[in-house]
Amino acid sequence: MIWTHGEEHLKTSIGYLNSIHPSIIFTHEYSSSLHQTLSFLDVQLHLINNAIQTDLHTKPTDKHQYLLKTSCHPNQTKKAIPFGLFLRIRHICATDTFFDRRSRELIKYLTKRGYSRSSLQRDANRVRSIPRHTTLQSQEQKSAKTDRTPFVTSFYPVLPKIPFIVNNYTSLLQATANCKEAFPNPPVTAYNYSILVVCI
């Protein structure tokens, strides 16, 4: 909120709120007229021309230990992490100036973790082209299909392409009466499966 009645009245009001009931104490933080910024969770609030603008806030203790590019995870996971982080910045930062500044910082952190600077810059540019108001809209949650069969396996980089194998041997799921009962609607392609990859 923006308080317009002076710092002393604010302190008096907070004191009154904390005196109403002994077991209810409000924690509070405020900025003075000299330092018109305030942090709340991962958002930094700036008062600019009597309007609140938001920027990304990170704690000084944050080490930015993102997943290493050399980590034993599926490539799609390592591709999704930078894009998701840039999208988070786009969602939080109210202006392109804030977004550009935080994106440059993120690129610096991720290059230290082994990610390619050129691919990071592409992701940043791609996210910057998304209008911010669309990132603030709630997304429709698609209901999960109840006829899908989960296929769970441990991930290891040298494993063959499991979706290809499942697709080629789908007919085996109908080989016996028990299989037909467990898999009444065998998938035509592996994309009808929910494949959950567990990283070890």
Tens digit of each residue's pLDDT (9 = 90 or more) over 38-70: 888 899 988 888 788 999 999 889 999 999 999
CA angle, 182 then 188 then 190, to 5°? 85
Residue 42 domain boundaries = 7-56
- The string of DSSP letters for 137-180 reads SPPPPPPPPTT--EEEEEE-TTS--HHHHHHHTGGGGGSSHHHH
Region class of 64: left (phi > 0), else alpha (psi between -120 and 50), else beta: left
199 beta partners: 155
Instruction: Identify whether 64 is part of a domain.
Output: no
Nearest to 128 by CA among 90, 164, 77, 171: 90
The answer on 111 and 79 residing in a single domain is yes
Instruction: Identify whether 47 is part of a domain.
Output: yes
Instruction: Identify whether 62 is part of a domain.
Output: no
Domain count, the chain: 3
Nearest to 166 by CA among 145, 150, 147, 146: 150
Report the chain's mean pLDDT, rounded to a whole number: 81
Q: What is the pTM of this model?
A: 0.68
Tens digit of each residue's pLDDT (9 = 90 or more) over 119-176: 999 999 999 999 988 888 877 766 656 666 666 777 777 777 777 777 777 777 777 7
Region class of 6: left (phi > 0), else alpha (psi between -120 and 50), else beta: left
> Of the candidates 95, 110, 135, which is a domain's last residue?
135
Instruction: Identify whether 15 is part of a domain.
Output: yes
91 is written with which tokens?
Answer: 């969602």
Instruction: Identify whether 99 is part of a domain.
Output: yes
